[in-house]
Amino acid sequence: MLIRSASFVKSSITLNQCPETSLPEFGFIGRSNVGKSSLINLLTGWSGLAKISGEPGKTRTINHFLINDDWYLVDLPGYGYAKVPVKLREKWIKDVKDYILHRKNLLCLFVLIDSRHPPQRSDLDFMEFLGINAVPFARVFTKSDKISGSSLRKSIQQYDYEMLKIWEIVPLTFITSTINRKGREEILNFIEETINNLSKQV
Ligand code: GDP
């Protein structure tokens, strides 16, 4: 897919505040510092579109970006070690889960996972939540340039091993690096195909 235009539309805290639209949308989520802003900038080709935060857990809002006047890319708040009061964190989690469960035009959620770390309980629990609620999602292993090919394969196998304890199959998986632009075409092509398949069904 060629990116012809990409623009920021709106930041929302709750589902009700999100733009009213029937355009398809694709969400990006992951633990703080996983490389989400960097990946969004890589995909859209507009550096700085999603601000790369040096401070873990900075993104708190549901951010809508309109791509090619055709679909929305949605930057969702990072989960994980945000240094905030428990009550506030619970409120964010509730708002994001509400969006994920009830946003009708959400076609796929990309769950970003840092390739360098062994399976994290928070990532596994979050994907289990998506599975239980039949939310379509794909895994994205980020920062693949930071480890060797064999370590990367091992990382993915470890996730597969944990997930196959409760799943029959492993979800669709992408591998990315913003340093060597790995995974960009694959993710954009997948988004394009998903949108095309949807228009064939209508
Ligand atoms: P976010 O908090 O998930 O939005 O993460 P950022 O996009 O701000 O990235 C966190 C840090 O990881 C930054 O220092 C980025 O430069 C770095 N980073 C992100 N993606 C990659 C990648 O693919 N390769 C490498 N080497 N560094 C990355």
Count CB-CB contacts under 10 A for residue 165.
Answer: 7
Q: Has residue 84 got a pLDDT over 80?
A: no
pLDDT beyond 70 at 64 = yes
Distance of CA 115 to the CA centre of its chain: 14
Indicate the average pLDDT of the chain: 90
What whole-number percentage of the chain has pLDDT above 70?
A: 91
Q: Tell me the pLDDT tens digit for each residue of 189-200.
A: 999 999 999 877
Determine if ligand 1 sits within 6 Å of the CB of residue 186.
no
Query: How many angstroms separate the alpha carbon of residue 168 from the centre of ligand 1?
Result: 32
**Each residue's pLDDT tens digit, 5-61:** 999 899 999 999 999 988 999 999 999 889 998 999 999 987 766 664 444 444 578
Ligand 1 centre distance from Cα of residue 167 (Å)? 29
Helix (H) or strand (E) holding 175: strand 173-175
- Sign of the C-alpha dihedral computed for residues 160, 165, 169 and 171 taken in this order: negative
State if residue 63 touches ligand 1 by the CB under 6 angstroms criterion: no
Tell me how far apart the alpha carbons of residues 86 and 105 are, in angstroms, rounded to a whole number: 30
Rounded Cα gap, residues 22 and 2, in angstroms = 21
> How far apart are alpha carbons 15 and 97 in whole angstroms?
9
Reduced DSSP (H G I as helix, E B as strand, rest coil) percent helix, strand, coil of the chain, to 5: 40, 25, 40
DSSP string over 112-174:
EEETTSPPPHHHHHHHHHHHHTT--EEEEEE-GGGS-HHHHHHHHHHHHHHHTTT-SSPPPEE
Q: 149-163 and 121-132 helices cross at what angle (nearest 10)? A: 50
Residue 83 confidence (pLDDT) above 90: no
- What pairs with residue 173 in β-bridges? 139
pLDDT for the residue 20: 94
User: Cα separation of 108 and 23, whole Å?
Assistant: 13
d(CA 75, CA 61): 8
pLDDT at 182: 97
Instruction: Say what the pLDDT of residue 199 is.
Output: 77
Q: How far is CA 152 from the centre of its chain?
A: 19
Q: What is the DSSP letter of 111?
A: E
Task: Look at residue 57 in the predicted model and tell me its pLDDT.
Answer: 43
Residue ID of nearest Cα to ligand 1 atom 25 = 143
Please give the model's pTM, rounded to 2 decimal places.
0.93
Interacting residues of 125 by C-beta distance below 8 A, sequence separation 6+:
none
> What per-residue confidence (pLDDT) applies to 106?
97
For the CA of 53, the nearest atom of ligand 1: 8
Average pLDDT estimate for 158-184? 96
